[in-house]
Structure 1
Amino acid sequence: MPTPPKISIITVVYNGAATLEATIKSIACQTYKNVEYIVVDGNSTDTTLDIIKTYAEVIDKWISEDDKGIYDAMNKGMDLATGDYLWFMNSGDRIAQPTTLKQAIDSMPDADIYYGETVMIGSDGKEIGDRRLKIPDSLTFESFKRGMLVSHQSFIVKSSLVQHYDVKYNYSADFQWCLQAIKKAQTICNTRLVLSEFLDGGFTKQNIVPGLKERFRIMVQHYGLASTLYHHVFIALKFFGFVIRHKRF
Structure 2
Amino acid sequence: MEGLVKCSRYAFGPNRLHYCGPDANKEIYDYIADNKSDLGLKKLLEQFETMYPYLRRIAESNGIRDPFDIRVVEAYWIGNRLLENVTQKELFRHLSEVHNLKKKLNAKSFSRLSDILESGGIPHHSFHVFAIWKRTGHEEKEHTIESIDSCRISWGRVMEVSGPTVTVERKQLVILNNKLAFSEPQNQRFTRTLDASDDIEGIESGNIVTIHWGVLCEAINETKVKMLERYTLQSMNLVNRML
TM-score by length of structure 1 reads 0.28
Q: Relative to total residues, which structure has the larger strand share, 1 or 2? A: 1
Q: Relative to total residues, which structure has the larger helix share, 1 or 2? A: 2
